[in-house]
Amino acid sequence: MMPRLAFRVLLGDDIALGPGKVRLLEAIIETGSIAAAGRSMAMSYKRAWHLVDTMNRCFNTPLVESTKGGAHGGGATVTPLGHEVIARYRALEHHARAAAAQDFAALAKHLADHNIHGNESSDKK
Examine residue 45 and state whether it is found in any structural domain, yes or no: yes
Q: Residue 56 falls within a domain, yes or no?
A: yes
Nearest to 7 by CA among 118, 79, 88: 88
Whether 2 is covered by a domain: the verdict is no
In a domain, 46, yes or no: yes
Does residue 3 fall inside a structural domain?
A: no
Q: What is the pLDDT along the chain (125 residues), one digit of tens a residue?
A: 677 888 899 999 999 999 999 999 999 999 999 999 999 999 999 999 999 999 999 999 999 999 876 556 679 999 999 999 999 999 999 999 889 888 888 888 888 876 555 444 444 44
pTM score of the predicted model: 0.81
Determine contact, residues 22/86, Cβ cutoff 8 Å: yes
72 domain-assigned? yes
Q: Domain with 79 in it: what CATH number?
A: 1.10.10.10
Specify the number of domains making up the chain: 1
pLDDT of 108: 84
Query: Rounded to whole angstroms, how far apart are CA atoms 27 and 65?
Result: 14
Range of the domain at 57: 9-124
pLDDT of res. 124 = 43
pLDDT of residue 35: 93
Residue 4, domain member (yes or no): no
The pLDDT score that the predictor gives to residue 70 is 59
Let me know if residue 115 belongs to a domain.
yes
